[in-house]
Amino acid sequence: MDFSDKVVLITGASSGIGAAAAVHLAKLGGQLVVVGRNVEKLQETAAKIQAVKGKTPLALQADMTNDQDVKRVVDDTIKKYGKINVLINNAGVLETGTIENTSLEQYDRIMNTNVRGVYQLTMLAVPYLIATKGNIVNVSSVNGIRSFPGVLSYNISKAAIDQFTRCVALELALKGVRCNSVNPGVIVTDIHKRGGMNDETYAKFLEHCRTTHALGRVGQVEEVAHAIAFLASDHASFTTGVNLPVDGGRHAMCPR
């Protein structure tokens, strides 16, 4: 896979799947625009990209729930590079809550980041993606495919992203722009701890996941990064509207 001369814009790039994808795509020759809220961690990602490829990425601090920040991300990218070849919508948040104990405030926080921010950034980037015959990869979740109790707003947001992916794929297909998503299972990142799990609970959760994923283990960020790179590459030139599980078989399992 070769991303030479391609400008790759990725959100949520300060840690986890986003950081891994950014570094991997840089290794494959891409010119990265990395976006995140945490400046210190974003700079760590930028330094890793610099170390592996010798290219300095454009690092942009932005909150994807802020309309002006989202617009600035696209404006700054075009000002520096003049084009966008690949958009990777990775920014996302997770919080626990059921229909009995969640709040509208939580619902709004999750939907604004996981759905509204994706919608706005994609809308603004589409004219440039049409110009380059580029493509979009959305980072969804197995929670968009399967139903799990206890993370209601998150589940809804990821189901929305899966439908968004398919609809955008159809709307842009004849203009030469592909749109796909990856749907990770449990991947070792800090998203669960940010969602409220302490160290002990997280350790037990990871151990339990050995039984809920068919391959008997959780995933690593690099495994998702490789799937993202494939979908974004010319190797997937006849692939659009796909929600690709990268979940160790979690989506295919049912309780017994």
Positive or negative, the CA dihedral 80, 119, 102, 93 is: negative
Query: To which H or E segment does residue 184 belong?
Result: strand 178-184
Encode pLDDT of 44-84 as tens digits. 999 999 998 788 999 999 999 999 999 999 999 999 999 99
- With H, G, I as helix, E, B as strand and everything else as coil, classify residue 115: helix
Q: Report residue 26 as tokens.
A: 């840089």
Q: What is the mean pLDDT of residues 200-214?
A: 82
119 catalytic per annotation: no
Instruction: Indicate if the pLDDT at residue 193 is higher than 80.
Output: no
Task: Look up the CATH architecture of domain 7-249.
Answer: 3-Layer(aba) Sandwich (3.40)
What local confidence, expressed as pLDDT, does residue 256 receive?
62
- Greatest mean pLDDT among 1-5, 185-189, 207-211, 230-234 lies in 230-234
β 86-89/58-61 pair status? unpaired
Q: Per-domain residue ranges for the chain?
A: 7-249
Catalytic, out of 107, 119, 154, 202: 154
Please list, in sequence order, all residues whose beta carbon lies within 8 angstroms of the beta carbon of residue 163, skipping any fewer than 6 positions away: none
Q: Is 207 exposed, middle or buried (0-12, 13-18, 19+ CB in 10 A)?
A: exposed
- Separation CA 102–CA 219 (nearest Å): 28
**In terms of pLDDT, which residue wins out, 85 or 198?**
85
Give CA torsion, residues 229, 230, 235, 237, to 10 deg: -90
The overall average pLDDT reported for the chain is: 94
243-246 β-sheet, strand order = 58-61, 31-36, 7-10, 86-89, 135-139, 178-184, 243-246
**Strands in 131-177 per DSSP E:** 135-139
Q: Report residue 15 as tokens.
A: 């840690």
Query: To which H or E segment does residue 43 belong?
Result: helix 39-53
Instruction: Give yes or no for a contact between 43 and 20, defined as CB atoms under 8 angstroms apart.
Output: no
Encode pLDDT of 87-115 as tens digits. 999 999 999 999 999 999 999 999 999 99
Instruction: Indicate if the pLDDT at residue 254 is higher than 70.
Output: yes
